[in-house]
Chains A and B, each alone.
Chain A
């Protein structure tokens, strides 16, 4: 029987703010990350070798004599050492693990040194002699557009006659916004350790969000069956999308080294190498042409995204599709055309990053709204609300009906709790009096589609064993990177069996236990794995209920699991006694659970279907102060109201919301990636790339969960996904900065690009004063 949205069940473990399962280990230094694992005797260390001079070059010869001569060097790997296929891509086959005849970006790995110490490997890696013929690299979006350089065909969808609407309208505006990329800067860098076994088997410990893909990649590179490779991931020190596909290469190199040397091999990237070699959030330029009416309602939108994908496809198809799926954010576009160009450049291969392209769509949508508001002199919040999806205006540009919209209510509540209108008046009078400091205020919504848009990824497996002492072993395909997934799934299992959380043993993700899994991505970890684990528990419970029903002569509907007991009619027997009896009676106490997301379908060629099971909603309000002499910006106050349905763990979810907000704020305000004209990344250390610190958190920072009756879809205990949606909440900070700069000259749309660094703000200030040119 499906759970009803509103139920009277008393939850003992699910929906409770239980602390992270590794809490004690984290604070005592006992949590083991891969680099902390005791190395087996004889472990060798890897260091990547690359051409430090060019981003694009033909590779004619490689002299490794001096590399091999360094004491401690055991092997030097090149493409010729690959017994299988020299490719670490997720699907497109265009990511050579070791360069093959050409260098396509600054940082591409050409060879790999295997040595007795990391120091020796790193030293040797710098001693190669390259014979190359340099080419002219394509670095920027503009370079790639000029050269018509695409990594894959463009994609479009939309509806209505946009050209006609734009032509016929009284009110029309166009604009462009460049939005930068973002370095993941997971505190634990890319790392893998491979241990060779008998018969060519390989066990790989990898810091990856996608153990299954690492398994497939290692098998592909080594030319062995997938069954010969086992990948294990206990925890990551952060992932954020940067270890979805980008962990493959390092694990595969470690495995190849282990194969070649017959010894355990560890690959841990140095931080600079990590920042130089691995892909980042895409940067995009969005151009828009919009028709709207006198009330600020959008009539037609023509939107074009040009996205820097880097030298290979990686996950760019899905990432850029998601930009398009979120180019409406929360707004109804009656006539719309959305185009996305995926550009090939000689830069690292851009990849997944929390939000997976969605944030670029959201920022474009919010800039459109802000531009309309500034042009007709309405408050941006008023324009936002007028453009929300609503009855009769509820179909997205890709044809999915918005059935679960709660934004009117949610935004109304935040509008009141943040005291928006009173503060709007205060901001206006502050700005009237203050010459140099200007305040800005903005309240922006988020509507984020939940499900992988690559439909087949929406499946998950779990393995649950109940032992005869009543303890439970839990395993599933999801990975833990700090988001609390392991805990949330354990809460589900504890809830199902009516056991305390510490009776459920959380174990490392392992491809030998649960196979063929999806990456832990798209915010879907708890939705998918929670349901799979619940299915496993319910299978075991059903067997136990049958057994108890027979044994005690009690009808099944009078049997329940709670407080470590099996409730049997009016009596109760400890869970562990029932389990022991069941074992003696030869009842199977283990089950593999499986789940696939219902309802979703998507035909990409026709651009129709329902790619998302549901939407997650939220809104945030920010007030900022901008110094128009220096471009310095301070976030004075932020109020967040976010929808987690019935939260599986409110403490974890609030952490995800706050963390996502600050990380997104970093993307939009301080984190600037700079490539020079030769395609070399100049910001490859935290000394040049500014990640938020504690002092960047808004002074007043109020986060609340929306009081939801529960997800209207049948998700795990009616919760909603929370990983990515909050990353887009800080659109309000970016809009508030725009609002502050716009106060300098009414009617002029400041040409503010992201990130809004002090220098970018100053440029927008000067341009606005000049009239927006």
Chain B
């Protein structure tokens, strides 16, 4: 067993874990944070997307021990029902979900993505590698390629992200 210390949603927590425990299982089974969903458990559906040190990753495809000392943000740490994060509010306003199972992953991925854009990181779809990419709908779709929604609520998901990204830009 390894003692793993993580700063999760602003709170420092230490938990004793087997080396094999994925970060996803650590969150869900050991830390009681079930907002992050297990979809495929093979890093292919994006339902378990979280932010580690600000970067979006699949929690199922990384071991908790690899993140000893890291800062983790899950959907529970983003906002609360009474004080939603702008991305959460945009998903509500645009009906960016149907069954809801992929939603926490979509939202975390979208928050990470908007952060990447703010830093000027290009995606594969960007016409130019230089300068700040323009967040068109096609651009958002490409940048969200790691998140599956089987209900295919994509038009609303993309609309929500687009609106939230514009708000973020306007307020920054």
- A658 near B88 (CB under 8 angstroms)? no
Q: Is B107 an interface residue (CB 8 A)?
A: yes
Which residues of chain B come closer than 8 Å to A24, judged between CB atoms? 81, 84, 92
Interface residues of A in 156-196 (CB under 8 A from B): 184-189
Q: Is B38 an interface residue (CB 8 A)?
A: yes
- Interface on chain B toward A: helix, strand, loop, or mixed SS? loop
- B104 near A29 (CB under 8 angstroms)? yes
In angstroms, Cα B42 to Cα A272, docked, is: 9
The answer, among B40, B84, B140, for a CB contact under 8 Å with A28, is B84
In angstroms, Cα B99 to Cα A240, docked, is: 11
Which residues of chain B come closer than 8 Å to A240, judged between CB atoms? 150
- B99 near A235 (CB under 8 angstroms)? yes
B41 to A: closest C-beta gap in Å: 6
Q: Is B135 an interface residue (CB 8 A)?
A: no
B101 to A: closest C-beta gap in Å: 3
B63-71, B114-122, B126-134, B155-163 - the one binding chain A: B155-163
- A187 near B39 (CB under 8 angstroms)? yes
Q: Return the chain A residue nearest B78 by Cβ.
A: A28
- B154 near A662 (CB under 8 angstroms)? yes
Which residues of chain A come closer than 8 Å to B92, judged between CB atoms? 19, 23-24, 27
0/1 interface trace, chain B 44-79, chain A, CB 8 Å (1 if under):
110100000000000000000000000000111011
Which residues of chain A come closer than 8 Å to B95, judged between CB atoms? 19-20, 23, 651-652, 655
Which residues of chain B come closer than 8 Å to A19, judged between CB atoms? 92, 95
In angstroms, Cα B75 to Cα A238, docked, is: 20
Q: Is B102 an interface residue (CB 8 A)?
A: yes
The answer, among B100, B137, B140, for a CB contact under 8 Å with A22, is B100
In angstroms, Cα B80 to Cα A308, docked, is: 49
Interface residues of A in 12-53 (CB under 8 A from B): 19-20, 22-33, 35-36
- B141 near A693 (CB under 8 angstroms)? yes
Which residues of chain B come closer than 8 Å to A29, judged between CB atoms? 33-36, 74-76, 104
- B40 near A33 (CB under 8 angstroms)? no
Assuming A24-B81, A235-B100, is B40 touching A686 (CB within 8 A)?
yes
B33 to A: closest C-beta gap in Å: 8
The answer, among B76, B88, B138, B150, for a CB contact under 8 Å with A185, is B150
A715 to B: closest C-beta gap in Å: 22
Q: Return the chain A residue nearest B161 by Cβ.
A: A694
Q: Is B142 an interface residue (CB 8 A)?
A: yes
B120 to A: closest C-beta gap in Å: 21
0/1 interface trace, chain A 46-77, chain B, CB 8 Å (1 if under):
00000000000000000000000000000000
Assuming A187-B45, A655-B156, A662-B154, is B37 touching A237 (CB within 8 A)?
yes
Which residues of chain A come closer than 8 Å to B138, judged between CB atoms? 695, 699
In angstroms, Cα B141 to Cα A661, docked, is: 17
- A-B contacts at CB below 8 angstroms, number: 182
Which residues of chain B come closer than 8 Å to A695, judged between CB atoms? 125, 138, 141-142, 145
Assuming A29-B34, A694-B140, is B98 touching A687 (CB within 8 A)?
no
A306 to B: closest C-beta gap in Å: 28
Which residues of chain A come closer than 8 Å to B41, judged between CB atoms? 270-271
Q: How many residues of A contact B (CB 8 A)?
A: 60
Q: Return the chain A residue nearest B104 by Cβ.
A: A29
A68 to B: closest C-beta gap in Å: 23
The answer, among A238, A663, A687, A692, for a CB contact under 8 Å with B99, is A238
The answer, among B45, B81, B141, B142, for a CB contact under 8 Å with A30, is B81
In angstroms, Cα B99 to Cα A660, docked, is: 13
- B101 near A33 (CB under 8 angstroms)? yes
A766 to B: closest C-beta gap in Å: 30
Which residues of chain A come closer than 8 Å to B150, judged between CB atoms? 184-187, 238, 240, 663, 691
In angstroms, Cα B79 to Cα A124, docked, is: 41
Which residues of chain A come closer than 8 Å to B103, judged between CB atoms? 26-27
Q: Return the chain A residue nearest B98 by Cβ.
A: A482
- A28 near B76 (CB under 8 angstroms)? yes
Which residues of chain B come closer than 8 Å to A459, judged between CB atoms? none
Which residues of chain A come closer than 8 Å to B153, judged between CB atoms? 655, 658-659
In angstroms, Cα B44 to Cα A271, docked, is: 11
- B42 near A697 (CB under 8 angstroms)? no
Q: Is B151 an interface residue (CB 8 A)?
A: yes
- A33 near B144 (CB under 8 angstroms)? no
- B157 near A694 (CB under 8 angstroms)? yes
The answer, among A27, A119, A692, for a CB contact under 8 Å with B88, is A27
- A694 near B144 (CB under 8 angstroms)? yes
A650 to B: closest C-beta gap in Å: 11
In angstroms, Cα B150 to Cα A185, docked, is: 7
Which residues of chain A come closer than 8 Å to B34, judged between CB atoms? 29, 32, 35-36
Which residues of chain A come closer than 8 Å to B142, judged between CB atoms? 694-695
B84 to A: closest C-beta gap in Å: 7
A-B contact sample (7 more), CB < 8 A, given A25-B100, A271-B40, A655-B153 = A28-B84, A35-B38, A655-B151, A658-B152, A685-B40, A686-B40, A697-B141
Q: List 12 A-B contacts (CB under 8 A).
A: A19-B95, A20-B97, A26-B97, A27-B75, A185-B148, A185-B150, A240-B150, A662-B152, A686-B42, A693-B154, A696-B154, A697-B155
B contact residues vs A (CB 8 Å cutoff): 20, 28, 33-42, 44-45, 47, 74-76, 78-81, 84, 88-89, 91-92, 95-104, 107, 125, 137-138, 140-142, 144-145, 147-158
